[in-house]
Amino acid sequence: MKATFETELYSAIFYIFFGFLLMSIVIIVFFYKSRKKIVKKELEKKDLEISHQKQLLHSILITQEEERKRIAQDLHDDISSKLNIVSLNSHLLKTKNISENEIEEITGNIIQLTKKALDSSRQIAHNLMPPVLEKFGLNEALEELTEEFGRLKSVQVFYNNKINFSDFSSEIQLNIFRVIQELLNNSIRHGKATEIKINFEKKGTTNICQYSDNGIGFDMNNQFNQKGLGMKNIESRLIFINGKFEINSAPNEGFHFLINF
């Protein structure tokens, strides 16, 4: 009887030990598979982030190339062509038996064309780096920008600012300026807006920009609308200044853009 009790005790210990061992194996396998799934998801997330970064970099490079082409075209069409005519007129002054009236007319043409070439060069320089931004800061540059768009007559632009932009670096100010510039272009060119509101304010430690227009809007479900070249350029600039943004729009309900930076 004693031998039977010991046998049963050993059997019970064996089954308990085997049960714990089996349970341990199940737990280890479960955690291994769970960890494997987590690692897989993390890798997929990283791949998506890398892919997204590549897309942003690609859009930046395309934007830079388009900007170079535009500048080259402006230099060729506006400045080079005018200077060529100035050069031709200058050679005419060497013509024999030229009358005083002709000299006066040619000189007037040269002065007029030179002035236009200077105006064009100033405009190109302004587009590259607005002088107001460099000399007086972002607030004054945005005031000038919104006034320029307001002079189009087809749109009213309301700009309000409660942030001291002088605390920001020149790089941050330039990127914010380009973002607002791109948004204004999109509102007028694509949104057909007649009214645009831009409001900067500070909430706690967060700087906020609320941008909205009354344009035709777009379908948020269409990824192409949110990931066009212009929006990618905006996103890349906001990433550079550690900014975040939210978009809200619908057909015939305007466009709303919130920036936290």
| Tokens 């550690």 found at | 242
Return the pLDDT at 165: 92
Angle CA(204)–CA(209)–CA(214) in degrees, nearest 5? Answer: 140
Taking alpha carbons only, the member of 243, 232, 248 closest to residue 62 is 232
Domain boundaries, the chain: 2-127, 131-260
What value does the mean pLDDT of the chain take? 80
> Model confidence over 4-23: pLDDT tens digits?
656 666 676 767 777 777 78
Task: Give mean pLDDT, residues 147-153.
Answer: 85
Residue 252: pLDDT above 80? Answer: yes
206 touches 248 (CB < 8 A): no
pLDDT digits (tens, 9 = 90+) for 155-204: 999 999 999 998 898 889 988 999 999 899 899 988 999 999 999 999 88
CB 245 within 8 A of CB 235: yes
59-92 per-position pLDDT tens digit: 666 666 666 666 666 666 677 778 888 888 888 8
Q: Strand 195-203 and strand 156-161: pairing?
A: parallel
User: Which 8-state DSSP code applies to residue 181?
Assistant: H
Helix-helix angle 170-189:138-150, to 10 degrees: 10
Helix boundaries (H) for 93-198: 100-128, 131-136, 138-150, 170-189
Give me the DSSP letters along 17-64: HHHHHHHHHHHHHHHHHHHHHHHHHHHHHHHHHHHHHHHHHHHHHHHH
* CATH number listed for the domain at residues 131-260: 3.30.565.10
What's the pLDDT at 171?
Answer: 86
- 213 pLDDT band (50/70/90 cuts)? very high
